[in-house]
Structure 1
Amino acid sequence: MALLGFKKFAVGILLLSVSVHVGAAAPDTIRLKELGKFEGWRENHLVGFGIVTGLAGTGDSPRSRATRQSLANFMSNFDVMLTSDQINSRNVAIVSLMAQLPPITHQGDKVDVIVTSLGDARSLVGGTLLLAPLKGPDGKVYALAQGAISVGGYRYDQNGNIAQKNHATGGVIPGGAQAEQDIFSSPLRDDGTMDFVLESPDYTTIERVAKAINLTFKQTLASVRDSSAVRVAIPPGQLANPSAFMSALETIEVRPDQRARVVINERTGTIIAGGDVKISKVTVAHGDLKVSVLTNYFVSQPQIIGRAGPNIRTQVVPNTQINVNEEQGGMVELPDASSVGDLVVALNKIKVSTRDIIAILQGIKTAGALHADLILQ
């Protein structure tokens, strides 16, 4: 991959090209574990509801009925019987909780918890989450969360003046959730098969994956299921220890086939293109016409002083000037099978701005000369 990063300076555009080779593998070959994953091997999402206390007057307002009701329910567990109308505190807030458990989790393992405000609290700085259950999509409790919240920002307001850094209504509790039961996600089916799924579906790549697996184990174990998955049968002799087979499977190297793409970020003026992105023979003519309209106002003061009448008064008169400046344009002609990098270097020589380069790439794509998907961000 070639990274083309552009920043506008007085001298023009900076072109940066980076090429990285990792490991001792053959050029352009990648291990299967970097191309995808085994089907069923995924993280488990948890969600919960909790109460944050210890806020310095920045919690939910008394208008938040859900906060007052939640606090009354919590206090009733400790034989403190109060109605929601009897609770009036800005030191508490109701929050939503989110966490992710790894595919294999043992009882007692700890994970981070994301905390976000549900009410109208102004800040969660200094707050502590009370013990709260985290549930999965099946409604079962898989972890318990509790601890001090790290916000990484602040928000203070006084007499209409506000000082804020980052978002103070969200934070994280590092290691704040503890798993209450074991979780095991097995990609192996009852018939001794499993599916390997690519992150980017592609028929050419998945065919190469199947051939590499069969060639490595010297038997027909893999068959293509679709453009994103290959079904692999574990040899009968390794069913008792499938982890060893899966470990060997992950280290198989394959040369993936990539679809040509050019990614453009118009906000930052960044263009990222693969090294194999080609451009057909094309001619680009670039010119710049600048029109500026400047209006100045001056006051017309009557010369007769002290003789004011119905038709004598001060008048504001506009003075408008229109300036047209047409700069000399440049022309770039590229031979067949040129790359995006060649185009950028040529445009840089005639001092074309980053925004104009983006517009030119869009025009070349429309003309059918850019043989890649153009992705705008």
Structure 2
Amino acid sequence: MIRIAMTLLVGLMLLPQAALSTPVRIKDLVEFDGVRGNDLVGYGLVVGLNGTGDGLRNAPFTEEIMVNILERLGVNVTGEQFRPQNVAAVIVTATLPPFARQGSQIDITVSAIGDADSLLGGTLVMTPLTAADGEIYAVAQGSVIAGGASVEGDGATIVQGVPTAGTVPSGARIEREVDFELADLTTVRLALRNPDFTTAARIEQVINADFGRSVAAMLDAGTVLLDIDATRAPSAAHALMRVENLRVEPERRARVVVDQRSGTIVMGEDVRISTVAVAQGNLTLRIEERPIAVQPNPFAEGETVIVPRTEVGLAEEETTGLAEVREGTSLSDVVAALNALGVSPREMIDILNAIQAAGALHAEFIVR
């Protein structure tokens, strides 16, 4: 019983460390050279809007594309004057995934470029999508699903979300494939999403240990070269399938990420801090408007006058002086030391910035 209890105790002591060092699949750490998507873009027209389209006086390009589409359909509108409010010019974007084949469908995003109020209920007319080389790789068409709502009255307007942008699920059909033959590759480079020498070395070691011979070599902090021929796999696809499922414990840099808009602070587990003294002062400015209406005497000639009256106050809250933030040897120690200051998250951002400037924050400080 004593031996069993000691075994359970040792297991519980080792559990937090194991949770912090969970291995990650190589496919979640790297990008395979050549296996990538390609951006597509097109210029089209959305029709069927309920009076929320472009004003053609302010968006003449909408009228031009509408005339071109009608003429291609055999409708002659040369010299005609028309001002519809149910059409909108849009930019269509999409990503052509790797190994996409002719006839398959992909999602697209539609965004208004004129002064349209909403794309709700609209339909995208057939729009060719081109890549950076100018070639057409897909054709888009379908009903637009906008991501917002707009309500307008005589005296007020309420807009929720962005009704001038939307998506068309499976709205583009691939008409041209990208020329890329994975089977012809003899070597493949593994590009790390977060370059690090230690992580790259661990990927090299794990791959070589799994194949039992030297098939991978670290070139730099962000690249590991895989020799397909040395793997003796039936094809490059079989070799990559085996490699991408191997697990590696990545090494992460110590970082503190701050979002000033929301006041969010995120720290990595390797963040360390040296002993510093911090004093935080709060300056409060109060402005209050209390205008007074001065009226003339009863039955006397005159006008009512508004006399402005402003009360301004400036106060500085008392502080307890310098507070010592002790050196932290772990993330929990750092968090406990910073929480002991008793400040808000936005004040904590200023404190962390000052500590980093003083050289006491041993981490990369990123402000977004």
TM-score (norm 2): 0.82
Q: Which residue of 2 aligns with 1:270?
A: 264
Whether 1:181 aligns to 2:176 is: yes
Deviations 1:75-129 (A, max 9, x none): 2223221116433322222211111121011222111111111222222221111
CA distance in 1, matches of 2:268, 2:351: 18
- Contact kept? 2:93, 2:109, Cα under 8 Å: yes
1:47 maps to amino acid: V
Between 1 and 2, higher relative CO (CA 8 Å, sep ≥ 6) is seen in 1
Which sits farther off after the overlay, 261-270 or 77-86? 77-86
Whether 1:36 aligns to 2:27 is: no
CA distance in 2, matches of 1:331, 1:80: 80
Q: Which residue of 1 aligns with 2:82?
A: 87
Structure 2: where are the runs of 5+ without partners? 1-14, 300-304
- Contact kept? 2:53, 2:117, Cα under 8 Å: yes
Q: Which residue of 1 aligns with 2:45?
A: 51
Q: Which has the higher helix share?
A: 2
Q: Which residue of 2 aligns with 1:5?
A: none
Of 202, 211, 233, 1:217 maps to: 211
What is the DSSP-based 3-state SS (H/G/I as helix, E as strand, rest coil) of the residue aligned with 2:39? strand
- Contact kept? 1:39, 1:187, Cα under 8 Å: no
CA offset at residue 238 of structure 1? 3.3
Of 105, 115, 120, 2:110 maps to: 115
1:65-214 matches, within 5 Å, as 65-83=60-78, 85-157=80-152, 159=154, 161-183=156-178, 185-186=180-181, 190=185, 192-214=186-208
CA distance in 2, matches of 1:157, 1:300: 39
CA offset at residue 250 of structure 1? 1.0
Query: Aligned-pair RMSD on alpha carbons?
Result: 3.4
Q: 1:71 to 1:129 in 2, by over 3 A?
A: same
1:363 maps to amino acid: A
What is the DSSP-based 3-state SS (H/G/I as helix, E as strand, rest coil) of the residue aligned with 1:41? coil
- Contact kept? 2:289, 2:308, Cα under 8 Å: no
CA distance in 1, matches of 2:177, 2:243: 26
CA distance in 2, matches of 1:101, 1:274: 34
CA distance in 2, matches of 1:86, 1:293: 57
CA offset at residue 59 of structure 1? 1.6
1:260 maps to amino acid: A
CA offset at residue 69 of structure 1? 2.0
CA distance in 2, matches of 1:300, 1:155: 43
Which sits farther off after the overlay, 82-91 or 366-375? 82-91
2:46 maps to amino acid: V
Q: 1:47 to 1:346 in 2, by over 3 A?
A: same
Structure 1: where are the runs of 5+ without partners? 1-19, 307-313
Of 224, 232, 236, 1:242 maps to: 236
CA distance in 2, matches of 1:227, 1:238: 26
Q: 1:234 to 1:329 in 2, by over 3 A?
A: same
CA distance in 1, matches of 2:168, 2:285: 55
- Contact kept? 1:112, 1:173, Cα under 8 Å: yes
Which sits farther off after the overlay, 232-241 or 140-149? 232-241
Q: Which residue of 1 aligns with 2:11?
A: none
Q: 1:283 to 1:227 in 2, by over 3 A?
A: same
Which sits farther off after the overlay, 82-91 or 31-40? 82-91
Q: Which residue of 1 aligns with 2:4?
A: none
- Contact kept? 2:47, 2:122, Cα under 8 Å: yes
- Contact kept? 1:47, 1:96, Cα under 8 Å: yes
1:345-356 matches, within 5 Å, as 345-356=336-347
Over the matched positions of the two proteins, sequence identity in percent amounts to 37
Q: 1:330 to 1:321 in 2, by over 3 A?
A: same
TM-score (norm 1): 0.80
Deviations 1:1-24 (A, max 9, x none): xxxxxxxxxxxxxxxxxxx99xx9
Which sits farther off after the overlay, 72-81 or 279-288? 279-288
Q: Which residue of 2 aligns with 1:4?
A: none
CA distance in 2, matches of 1:364, 1:277: 13
Matched positions, count: 349
Q: 1:210 to 1:39 in 2, by over 3 A?
A: same
